Structure 1
Amino acid sequence: MSLQAHIMELKRRHQALEEEIQSTLSSPSASTLKVAELKRKKLQLKDELEQLQHGMASKSIH
């Protein structure tokens, strides 16, 4: 998988987690533990995306 394809897949998964968080929050039986876990996963994806994009930017500069 190319780096660009990997970044696109991470963005897709990040968006899917956001949608799942919103869906869970709108549920009357929303579990705060589940929401916290989803948010943690979303943050991990965001961090990975930023690292990859930063790496791409620094490579294009050199």
Structure 2
Amino acid sequence: MQRLQKVQNWTAHLIDGVMKYSLATPLLIKLHWLPIAVRVEFKILLLTHRTLTGHVPGYRYL
């Protein structure tokens, strides 16, 4: 998870064009990006909710 978070932080710095050593948290907030650990938890909860409420997409068999 730490490696993915570092990549996300680096990408936020690259997109915003700020110095490499500035804090990434304000950039993530500015870009409306969730930190990696929170995003993983959100996706799991979202998929669980959709499964329990029957809102999963239909899959086609090839």
TM range (shorter): 0.3 to 0.5
As a proportion of its length, which structure holds more helix? 1
Which has the bigger relative contact order, CA under 8 A and spacing at least 6?
1
TM-score by length of 1: 0.36
Rg comparison, structure with higher value:
2
TM-score by length of 2: 0.36
